[in-house]
Structure 1
Amino acid sequence: MTSTDYMVTELSQKGLFQGMHKGMTLTSAALVLAFVLFTGLGPQLAGEIFGTARTWIESTFSGYYLVTVMLLMAVCAFIVVSRFGSIRLGSDDSRPEFSNFAWFSMLFSAGIGIGILFFGVAEPVFYLDDSGAFGYPNNPHADMAGATAIGHERAIDALRVSVFHWGLHGWAIYVIVGMSLAYFAYRRGLPLALRSALYPFIGERIYGPIGHLVDILGVLGCVFGVATSLGLGVSQMAVGLQRLVGISDGLDTQLILIAGISLISILSAVSGVQKGIKIISELNIWVSVLVVGAFLLGGPTLWLVQAFGATLLDYAANFIPWAFGMPTSPGRPPGSRPGPSSTGAGGWPGPPSSACSSRASREAAPCANSCSACCWCRP
C-alpha cells in the first residue's frame, strides 16, 4: 500500500470523520473517555495506581531514559554539523513559509507556553525552598554545596537547576520527533503521523496494525501531556483570579477556564496556522517580552543580568555530568539525584506529587507529606 492508497482507502473522505481514520479515532476517543471516567469517579484509587506506576517506571527505566536523551542530543549535534543538516524538510525548491520570529514564537507558545508559565515561577521557588516538606530535600545539589539556608547562593543554585531543566535535553526530544514527522511527511510524502517515522524499519507495515498502535499511543501521549500542562496552568490562573478579584478558585472556576481555553485553542487550530496559531503565538511572545522587560527594569537589573549570565555559563559547563545524575543515597524517591534536582530522571520538570498541583486535587487526594506547607501548594 502506498501513501496515496492509504489516504484514499483508509481515511474517511466525507462526513464527521473526514480526513481521519475512523477506527483509530474512535478507539483513541474511547480510551481517553475510559481514563477520564476512571479518574473522575475514583480519584483516590486512580492516584494510588498512577503513583505506583510512575514510581515503578522511574525506578526501572531511569538509566535508560537518561542515556536515551543524551543520545538524542548527540544525534541533534551530529545533524547540525554534518551534511544532513542541509536537507530541506520539503522539496528541493521549497522555502520557509514563516519568518524565524514567527517560527520560534510558535515553537515556544504552542510547545511549552503554559508549562513554562507555571514552572518558570514555581520551579525556582521550589528549589529555593528549604522546608523538605515532601520528605526529601527540595534541592540536594544546593544542600551538598553548603547552601542549606534560603539566601543568595541557594537562589543562584535554584536558577541553575531550572535552566538545566528547560535546556537542551527536553528540546532534543522535541527536535527528533519533529524532524522525523516533517522529513517523512514533507520529503517522502508519507502520512503526517508518528507511524511514518517507523518506515525505515518496517516499511509498508506502517499501514497495518503496528502503525495503528503507534498512532493511538501518540494520541494518548498528546492528550495526557496537554491535560497535565492545562491543569497546572488553569490552577495557576484560578488562584490568580482569586487573589486579584476575589473569584473562587474552586472546581467551577477551573472548569470554566478549561472550557474557555479549549474553545480558543480549537478556534485557533481550525482557522489555520497562518491566521490562528501564528497570530496568537506572536502576541504571546510580545506580551512575554513586555513582562520580562518590566521585571528586568523594575528589579535589581544588574543582579538579574549577572545571575542570568552565571547560570548559563554554569549550565554550559555542567549539563553533561548533570544529565547522567542518578540516585546514590537511600531514602530519595526514584528519579531523584544528588546532582541538580529531585524532580525526576532526565530533568524535564514535573510536580513532585500528582496530588499537589491545586487546592481541588488536595481535597480529592490529600498529600501524605503535608505539602500544603510547601511552596507548590501553599495558599
Structure 2
Amino acid sequence: MKLRTSPILLALAVTSAGAQTVEWRGLLDVRAIDSDAGRSFLDSGLGKTRYDQNSPRLSIGQAVLRADADLFDSVSASMELSADQQHRGVVDVREAHLTWSPVPDGAWKTRVRAGFFFPPTSVEIDYDSVGWVPKHTISSSAINSWIGEELRTNGVEWSARRLGRYSGAPYDVGVLAAVYTGNDPTGTLLSWRGWSISDRIGGRNDTVELADLPVYRHPSGYLLRQSRTIHPFRELDGKLGYYVGANMNFGTGLELAALHYDNLTDPTVVKDGQYGWRTRFDHVSAVWRPQGQWEVSMQSMRGDTMMGRNGVGLDFQSWFVLASHPLGPGTAAVRYDRFSTSEHDNIPSDPNNEVGYGVALAYDWPLAESLSLMTEALLVRSERSARVLIGEPALQMERSLTVSLRWRF
C-alpha cells in the first residue's frame, strides 16, 4: 500500500480557491553571527551548530512564504515555501497539506490532515506563526532540530479532542494517529552525524552531505552503496509508517502529551544510495504555566534506529527544559539540553557514540507589531569519537552569539 501526496497539486488547490480567499503570510529573518565553532555539519563537518567560525557574519536565516485558503465548508489548504543561504538558493516546500475540520457535534472535535506536514511533537514551536520557528529562542533544542531536519508526515493524520466544558471536567483530552510514506532514511543523520542544536529546517527535496567517514567512502569500507548525500524524506520499501499519541490540557496551566513513532522501514533495503533505517521512539512533553508569567517547557525522547542486519544500530535519547518570563520590554528565556547516542552494531570501525549538552540564553524584544529583535548566546559541549576519523578533536566546545531581526508580514 502506498500513499502519494503532491505539493504541486496542493499548491494548485490553494490558488484555485480564488485570490480573494487566500491569506498570505511571511517571515524574513536576517542575522548577524559570531561563532568560534569548528566545521559545521552543513559543511560536512561533525559540529553541532548551524554556524561555525567560517560562516558569513551576515546572512538570511530563513525566508518563508505561507498561503492558507478555505476551499469548502470545513476544508482548507495550506502551503509553505522556504529558502535560506544554506540551502544553495533553492526554494523548497516545507509544508503542503489539506485540513478537514468539521463543526463539532457535541464534546468531540475532530480534524484530519493529509499532505506533507510536521508531526505535532514540539512544545518550543509557535504553531500559529509562520516558519515552524521557536517562540523564545533562535536555535531549537536537539529534539526539535532533529525533527525539523529528518521527520515530516507525508500522509494522513487523524486527531480528536474531547472538550471538558461539555461534561464539566477541568481538562480537555485528545488522541491522534497517522500513517505516512517516506521518512525511510530517517536515522541516517542521527547515526553518522549525531544530534545538532540549530534551527535549520529541511524542505521536501532537501539534501544534507555527510562527513567524509571511512565506513562508506573508502574502497575497503563496509557500506560502499551509501551516498554521502542524504535525502531524509525518501520512500524506499513501499511500507507505511505510523505514529499514535495522546494529550491532556488542564486549562492553560498545564499541557501534557505523549507520542509513539515507528517508520516500520525494512532496514535491509538500499535504493539510489539511501539505506532504509528502522527508526522508532517514544516522546513525552509538558508545558507548565504557574502563577505569574512564568512558562516552563519540557520534552524527552528515547528511541533506537538500525540499518542493515545491525550493520549500524544505536539507541538515542535527549531531553531539555526551557523557562521563559517577561523582562523589561521583551521576554527572556533559558534552555538546557542533554543528548546522547549509544551504538550496538557490528562495525567497530564506525564509532557512533556521543554525549553532550547545550545551554541557550535568549531575549526577544518586540520593536513593532510585525518586527522583533532576538538575541541568543549558545554553548554546546559534545564528545564524539568519530571526529578523529576526519581530523577533528573528539571533544568540542562550540560558542556562538546570534542577533536575529525578524519581520513577519
Q: Which of the pair has the greater relative contact order for Cα pairs under 8 Å at 6+ separation? A: 1
- Asked if TM exceeds 0.5, the reply is no
TM score, norm. by length of structure 2: 0.24
Larger Rg: 1
TM score, norm. by length of structure 1: 0.25
